[in-house]
């Protein structure tokens, strides 16, 4: 394969002129810049997605120390995770932090987590806005465990898929796993009648649940509801004889 620098060097005499020396220096500099550029591209291409996403709002060194201290599996849920991973800064995005499979928050974890955050603004209670990425992170789970208060639960789901009669969201662990998991079907519960799964964002705008797997394979339905959500009836799912949270809800007028 033709290599301009190698070809050029083979033609340079033992005592090159100033012009030839300058040309070789130019090509050497260009080659070094190209190598650095390619190294940067390869690094970004293969960097695990969790590093890209979590780095948007967390100081990595402080966060790694916190994770070691508590030995937790922490996750983020929301269809906008895909936009976050792609470095999108044109649209507003909403995702929610949670402890998958856990119903309780360890003492002291909330305070330590807040110390790890990059600059942000708390626009609403427990909803932190990171202006550089136009990203809102809901951290209500750090107060209430598997019951999360969020201003617009339906924004955690794909609008495009809901228009086609199906709901999907995305989920990401912080455990070194680079894959964004897609969640749909029976893993999503909403305010539906007849025991079916929700199909539109209208059925998850007040309250919904998402089944997530956490540490040691524990699974749990995490409930998301907007502030002021009307009273609903929960239908709780059971795994190995233990309740794991509500898999669907009934409308207020269906209450007995």
Per-residue pLDDT tens listing for the chain (256 residues): 333 333 333 334 444 554 444 434 433 444 444 334 333 333 333 345 667 788 889 998 898 889 889 988 889 999 999 898 888 899 999 999 998 888 889 999 999 999 999 999 999 999 999 999 999 999 999 998 889 999 999 999 998 888 788 899 999 887 655 567 889 988 999 998 777 889 889 999 999 999 988 877 788 999 999 999 988 999 999 988 889 999 999 876 654 4
Whole-structure pTM value? 0.76
Give the list of residues 6+ apart from residue 163 with CB closer than 8 angstroms, or none: none
In this prediction, residue 30 carries a pLDDT of 41
In this prediction, residue 112 carries a pLDDT of 95
In this prediction, residue 239 carries a pLDDT of 86
What is the spatial distance between Cα 24 and Cα 27, in angstroms, rounded to a whole number? 5
Identify the burial level of 147 via C-beta atoms within 10 angstroms of its C-beta, where 0-12 means exposed, 13-18 middle and 19 or more buried. middle
Nearest to 177 by CA among 137, 139, 214, 141: 214
């Amino acid at each position: 394969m033709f290599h301009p620098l190698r070809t050029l060097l083979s033609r340079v005499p033992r005592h090159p002129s100033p012009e030839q020396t300058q040309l070789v220096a130019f090509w050497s500099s260009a080659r070094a810049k190209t190598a650095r550029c390619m190294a940067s591209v390869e690094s970004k291409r293969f960097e695990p997605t969790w590093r890209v996403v979590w780095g948007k709002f967390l100081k990595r060194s402080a966060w790694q120390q916190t994770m070691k201290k508590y030995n937790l599996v922490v996750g983020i849920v929301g269809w906008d995770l895909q936009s976050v991973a792609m470095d999108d800064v044109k649209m507003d995005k909403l995702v929610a932090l949670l402890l998958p499979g856990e119903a309780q928050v360890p003492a002291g974890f909330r305070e330590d987590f807040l110390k790890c955050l990059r600059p942000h603004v708390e626009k609403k209670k427990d909803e932190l806005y990171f202006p550089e990425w136009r990203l809102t992170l809901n951290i209500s789970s750090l107060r209430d465990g598997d019951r999360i208060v969020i201003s617009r639960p339906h924004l955690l789901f794909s609008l495009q898929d809901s228009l086609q009669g199906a709901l999907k969201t995305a989920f990401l662990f912080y455990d070194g796993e680079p894959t964004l998991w897609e969640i749909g079907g029976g893993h999503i519960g909403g305010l539906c009648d007849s025991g079916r799964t929700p199909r539109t964002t209208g059925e998850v705008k007040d309250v919904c649940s998402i089944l997530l797997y956490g540490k040691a394979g524990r699974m749990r339905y995490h409930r998301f509801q907007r502030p002021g959500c009307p009273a609903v009836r929960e239908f709780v799912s059971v795994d190995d004889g233990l309740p794991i949270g509500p898999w669907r809800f009934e409308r207020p007028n269906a209450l007995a």
